[in-house]
Amino acid sequence: MVEWCWREQNVFLNIFLTRGKLLGMEREIAMTTAHPVQVSVLRWAPPIVHGLVRDLRVRWALEEAGWPYREHVVSREDQASASYRELQPFGQVPAFRSDELTLFESGAIVHHIAERSPALMPQEPASRSQVTAWMFGALNSVEPPIMMFNILDMVYQGPKGADVQALRTWIVGWVESRLDALVHVLEGKEYVLGRFTAADVLLTTVLRILRDTDFVTKRPPLDAYQRRCEARPAFRKALEDHLANFAKHAPSA
């Protein structure tokens, strides 16, 4: 009888604590969304980077979470100003500001949003840690070789002799190995962890960097994964707003 009562008490205690955590999260979300957050975005950028600037991943996360936000449009002059450098020490976008805090680095901002949104991160502790691990993986394991390739092919304007070509070949192999690993992880799954999470926001926006290559399209499972993520209404709304800002501030012909 004593053992039964002890077990019953623990069941009710666990229910109470779980409900308390959920209510706490609901209150936190309500407090955060009561006053729209502010996200800095570039006033304008060359078309070659439209759809790639990293405010897109933050906009997408906010749309998935259902949080309203305001654009803080910044010019080149704003980026160099002391006031903006207080928000973003490197003068980049995005920077995030709410009543609670200011943040920079798109991965950190998406993680902050995800921790407060069941749409982007599950509530079970181990599952939350898996999402966090894949968010780190997207930015630390997948993005670096892709960015190196992108810089070498799209940005670097110097001599491209044998040494540079050898470096490019090595980087291509690095990119290929990372993408092959992703294909293996995605076997039998719609998203990297089964259900859609913030990890997919970051992975998809990283894969988009390769849009002018065949790295993704020649891997049908990876191509299908990216298309699936980009078909989400939240992504389409985020991309629409991202592009609309550039169109609004496009320089006169």
Look-up: residue for tokens 């006033």?
Answer: 43
The pLDDT value given to residue 90: 98
Q: How far, in Å, CA of 194 to CA of 19, rounded?
A: 25
Cross-strand partners of 42? 74
Q: How far, in Å, CA of 164 to CA of 168, rounded?
A: 6
Which amino acid is residue 227, in one-letter code? Answer: R
Q: Is the pLDDT of residue 5 over 60?
A: no
pLDDT, tens digit, 9 for 90 and up, residues 82-112: 999 999 999 999 999 999 899 999 999 999 9
Confidence of residue 4 (pLDDT cuts 50, 70, 90): very low
The pLDDT value given to residue 212: 96
Share of the chain above pLDDT 90, in %: 83
Confidence of residue 36 (pLDDT cuts 50, 70, 90): confident
HSE-up of 198 (CA within 13 Å, CB side)? 33
Q: Is the pLDDT of residue 26 over 50?
A: no
CATH for the 125-233 domain, from 1.10.3720.10, 1.10.1740.10, 2.40.110.10, 1.20.1050.10: 1.20.1050.10
Across the chain, mean pLDDT equals 90
pLDDT, tens digit, 9 for 90 and up, residues 45-76: 999 999 999 999 999 999 999 999 999 999 99
pLDDT, tens digit, 9 for 90 and up, residues 115-150: 999 999 999 999 999 999 999 999 999 999 999 999
3-state secondary structure at position 175: helix
Which ranges in the chain belong to alpha helices (H)? 2-34, 55-65, 76-80, 82-87, 106-115, 125-137, 143-150, 162-186, 198-207, 220-230, 233-248
pLDDT, tens digit, 9 for 90 and up, residues 142-180: 999 999 999 999 889 999 999 999 999 999 999 999 999
Domain boundaries of the chain, sorted by first residue: 2-115, 125-233
pLDDT, tens digit, 9 for 90 and up, residues 231-247: 999 999 999 999 999 99
The pLDDT value given to residue 17: 40
| CA gyration radius, the chain | 21
pTM over 0.75: yes
The pLDDT value given to residue 132: 98
Q: Is the pLDDT of residue 25 over 90?
A: no
Topology (CATH) of 2-115: Glutaredoxin (3.40.30)
